[in-house]
């Protein structure tokens, strides 16, 4: 009285299963590839450039630390560097915290503008 009739599936729907499943996962795979090229790969390149910059650090370079302090390298060790932030004031910093190495020939901003 309350039973519903059961219908058999056609054979065509079962044969398209693997192909239909591939089509469902294709956008997910494309998203993963896009994520790699837009997020992961550029970050790896930046990290490699930073490691090369820190490895080529030498005495006399003017550097900017991650907290914004500017100083001159006076000592370079394995994992640390001595940075002179003022005349006679030297701090020891971890080399990975150096954010930028400024070139010696970089012009300083002029503060003599008169308004």
> Is 115 among the domain residues?
no
Q: Are residues 32 and 65 in the same domain?
A: no
Q: Is the pTM of this model over 0.75?
A: no
Q: Three-state SS across the chain?
A: CCCCCCCCCCHHHHHCHHHHHHHHHHHHHHHHHHHHHHHHHHHHHHHHHHHHHHHCCCCCCEEEECCCCEEEEEEECCCEEEEEEECCEEEEEEHHHEEEEECCCCCCCCCCCCC
Residue segments in the chain with a per-residue pLDDT below the cut of 50:
105-107
Q: Are residues 44 and 64 in the same domain?
A: no
> Is 20 among the domain residues?
yes
CATH number at 93 reads 2.30.30
Number of domains within the chain? 2
For residue 36, the model assigns a pLDDT of 95
> Is 110 among the domain residues?
no
Residue ranges making up the domain that contains 35: 16-52
For residue 20, the model assigns a pLDDT of 84
For residue 105, the model assigns a pLDDT of 45
């Amino acid at each position: 009285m309350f039973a519903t009739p059961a219908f058999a599936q056609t054979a065509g729907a079962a044969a398209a299963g693997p192909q239909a499943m591939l089509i469902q996962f294709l956008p997910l795979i494309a998203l993963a590839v896009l994520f790699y090229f837009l997020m992961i790969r550029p970050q790896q390149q930046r990290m490699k450039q930073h490691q090369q910059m820190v490895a080529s650090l030498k005495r006399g370079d003017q550097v900017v630390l991650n907290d914004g302090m500017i100083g001159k390298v006076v000592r370079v060790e394995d994992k640390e560097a001595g940075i002179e932030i003022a005349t006679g004031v030297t701090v020891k910093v971890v080399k990975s915290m150096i954010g930028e190495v400024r070139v010696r020939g970089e012009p300083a901003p002029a503060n003599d503008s008169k308004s």
